[in-house]
Amino acid sequence: MLDKLNSIIHFFDVGDIRFFFLIGKKNFKNLSILTFLVSILVLFISLNLEKKYISKATIVISPEENNIVNIEEVYAFDNQASRVNNQIAILRSDEVLEYIVGDKKNRLEFKNLFAQTEKSFFNRILKKKVNIDKGYLKSILTQNFSVSNVPRSDVLQLSFISNNPKISQLALNSIIESYQRYEVDSKIQITNYANLKITDRLKELVIQMDIAEKKLADYKKENELVDTGNVKKLKIKEIESLSQRILEAEQNTQKLQNDLLSIKVADGNIDDLLAIEELRTAKEISAINDSIAANESNIQSLSLIYTSKHPKLVKANEFHEKLNTQLQEKINLSIQQKAFELGNMENFIKLSEEELKIATEELRVIEEKESGMMKYSREVESSKKLYESFLQRVKETNEAQNLQVSKLKIIETPNLPTSPFTPQPTNNFIYSLFLSFIFFYSLVFYKEMNTSVVKSPEAIESLDIPQVGVLPKVAKLKRGFHILQMFLEDSESNFSESIRSSRAIIESKYKKNSSYMVTSSNPSEGKTTYAFNLALSLEKTHKVLFIEADIRRPSVLNSFYQFDKEIYGLGEIISGSSQLNETIFKVPGTNLDIITSGEKRFDMSDIVNKEQIKKFLDVLKMDYDYVIIDSPPVQPVSDTLILAQATDYNLFLIRSEATRTVTFMSSIKKIQNVGSKIHGIIINDLDTSKDSYYAYYYNYSSHYYNYNNYYRNKT
């Protein structure tokens, strides 16, 4: 559960859930008093507000049976919704309300109930006495009556709100009865009116039928028509038969043309002519062709036995020539027949097309006459149907006039409410407790986040981040001393002791041969002072490299120390204008190696990425136990977010009573958003004159080693 709350809070960039609890704990007394006072006020007001009772009823207004035309209309949502909306409008209409307020008995009953109603404290003070007349009663019915429709149904839910439960019930009963009365009266009026109009329409239809029948008779006489239906069918069949005959003739013609074209291409060659299927399969040609094949086989057999001048062989050859002559004659005759057939077929098609044209023209004339006759026939038929329909309506309206009943059915009758639905003092008291607490807590939280500053270590306990250092406020420096190297110049001071304590925690908590980035939310919070003094303390027993990574600002160390030659730094390494060994210098009087920011000024994120910086730091960690990186602040520039992803450990420095809570939380969130995290927090410039500092600091030191094991297992 806590993890889910934390994920929501992190999404809105407002800190940690424990930070919320810390603010609530800090302001619990004030929040409780304010919340309780507001809730008591709400309870008092609720007890003295006018009580409201709601009476409910459920009804169904069935559709008119003669309005249902087809199945689509029954299930059409738009039609149903429109009909239901119409019924709701009628229920709320002035006509229905007039039936209620116009009834003297109803008005008297309402007036008696209004007189019996108890008025609330506020009503007795603020409201004037009213006269229960028609106008007032109508306005009450209009304002307090509501109707809702159960989706996709004819069911309507009615409700009426009043300060008297009996008035609520009476109002709903009166509205339902008034609607039924209005519905029946309206139907009777409509039926009478419809009956009158239908009778007038029937008279007009009789005249129209007579005129239409006369026109039809005149047209038939003029065009000598009785019934064109059979003639038209015969003519259509004739046209279909001619069309089919022409189609078959055209197919045969095409086939003959193809055969004659093949014959022309063969140019008298017997083998090519026999390749044409029509010639090859002809009965006489096929028989001669078979005889030629048999004779050729006989000649081949005789050639094996006799010489070419033998009588049998000579006779066989003569017979072969005779067969070939007969075959040539039969083929020529067949070709002549095909040419003759082609000519006959073309003449046949031409004649058939002329017949088809004549038949089509005759059909067109028949259809024109039929169209004219059908026009008058439809007028007669339409007039007859309309007459029959209106005649049926006359019968229905006469029957309906005697059987008018309301379509409204009551499913649930109006109930008499036993308790008010509003106000609910107990619920209002509980809701006000909850809402007022949230409101006042939000105000406190806003104040804490936007106006408060971090004053002591207790303020950030909830963040679950180890505190690796607490630096005391340095009110005065001895003459000639500088805070940047206080650890060297005044090693017995409280500040130097705090640096040693921080060093001890870092040595025990974190691994050697690692890189450490020191940053803060904004400039001038003391991160460079802490980072450089930490590096000076570590170099006593370890090999340490200090890197000033704030490339955009002039080098603090370069201006503080006077080196004997031109100083190149991190800016030159990144830009490629200097080698690594050209940028490393010793701090005078120490074994601490440093790389200053150099002379180049640019946006680091535009030139290098986190992988390149990580590889650079990995090379340095091979030679140094600790690589301390003094980075730019988080809020003004983006360079720190690149460095935070490349370093092993990130330390965050807060200046007591200067760093705003909202800025601090936002900075941590930015680092978390790039996939990194804060591994330790240092509080700087803490006023150690307060007794609470010592109690906290020593409690923290004793608690730290137990917490250290838990934190390592978690990370």
- Provide CATH code, domain 467-714: 3.40.50.300
What pLDDT, on the 0 to 100 scale, is given for residue 108?
A: 87
Q: How far apart are CA 216 and CA 373, in angstroms?
A: 7
Q: Identify any residues that bridge with 677 across adjacent strands, giving them in sequence order.
A: none
| Helical ranges in 510-585 per DSSP H | 527-538, 556-560, 570-575
Torsion of CA 41, 45, 46, 50, to 10 degrees: 180
Q: Is the pLDDT of residue 41 over 70?
A: yes
pLDDT band at 423 (very low <50, low <70, confident <90, very high): confident
Mean pLDDT is lowest, of 489-493, 536-540, 673-677, 689-693, for 689-693
What pLDDT, on the 0 to 100 scale, is given for residue 678?
A: 92
**Contact partners, residue 456, CB within 8 Å, separation at least 6:** 656, 683, 686, 692, 693, 696
Q: Is the pLDDT of residue 12 over 60?
A: no
**Contact partners, residue 544, CB within 8 Å, separation at least 6:** 535, 538, 591, 592, 593, 624, 625, 626, 627, 628
pLDDT band at 345 (very low <50, low <70, confident <90, very high): confident
603 three-class SS: coil
Q: How far apart are CA 452 and CA 538, in angstroms?
A: 35
Instruction: Return the DSSP state at 250.
Output: H
Per-domain residue ranges for the chain?
Answer: 1-46+423-452, 47-184, 229-402, 467-714
What pLDDT, on the 0 to 100 scale, is given for residue 396?
A: 60
What pLDDT, on the 0 to 100 scale, is given for residue 17?
A: 64
Element (H, E) at 680: strand 680-686
Mean pLDDT (whole number) for 503-507: 93
Q: Is the pLDDT of residue 58 over 50?
A: yes
Query: What's the length of the chain?
Result: 715
pLDDT band at 403 (very low <50, low <70, confident <90, very high): very low
Q: How far apart are CA 377 and CA 620, in angstroms?
A: 108
What pLDDT, on the 0 to 100 scale, is given for residue 281?
A: 72
Place of tokens 């004739």: 238
What pLDDT, on the 0 to 100 scale, is given for residue 394?
A: 62
Residue type, 318: E
What pLDDT, on the 0 to 100 scale, is given for residue 231?
A: 63
For residue 391, CA distances in Å to 172, 193, 212 come to 42, 15, 19
Q: Is the pLDDT of residue 691 over 50?
A: no
Would you say 78 and 165 are in contact if contact means Cβ atoms under 8 Å apart? Answer: no
What pLDDT, on the 0 to 100 scale, is given for residue 161?
A: 92
Which tens digits make up the pLDDT trace of 431-471? 898 898 888 888 877 776 665 566 666 666 667 788 898 88
Q: How far apart are CA 59 and CA 149, in angstroms?
A: 10
Which tens digits make up the pLDDT trace of 654-681? 988 888 877 888 888 899 889 999 999 9
**Choice between 217 and 77, residue whose per-residue pLDDT is larger:** 217
**Choice between 370 and 109, residue whose per-residue pLDDT is larger:** 109
Which tens digits make up the pLDDT trace of 522-559? 888 889 889 999 999 999 999 999 999 888 776 566 55
What the block records as the tokens of 356 is: 């088809």
**Contact partners, residue 108, CB within 8 Å, separation at least 6:** none
CA 576 to chain centre: 50
Which tens digits make up the pLDDT trace of 210-220? 777 677 667 66
What pLDDT, on the 0 to 100 scale, is given for residue 390?
A: 65
150 three-class SS: coil
Q: Is the pLDDT of residue 694 over 50?
A: no
Residue type, 450: N
Mean pLDDT (whole number) for 108-112: 86
Mean pLDDT (whole number) for 216-239: 67
Q: Is the pLDDT of residue 692 over 60?
A: no
Q: Is the pLDDT of residue 136 over 70?
A: yes
7-13: long-range contacts at Cβ-Cβ below 8 A with a sequence spacing of 24 or more?
A: 10/669, 10/672, 13/665, 13/666, 13/669
Mean pLDDT is lowest, of 247-261, 337-351, 439-453, for 439-453
Q: How far apart are CA 183 and CA 201, in angstroms?
A: 26
Q: For all residues of the chain together, what is the average pLDDT?
A: 78
Which tens digits make up the pLDDT trace of 610-646? 899 999 999 999 999 999 999 999 988 888 999 999 9
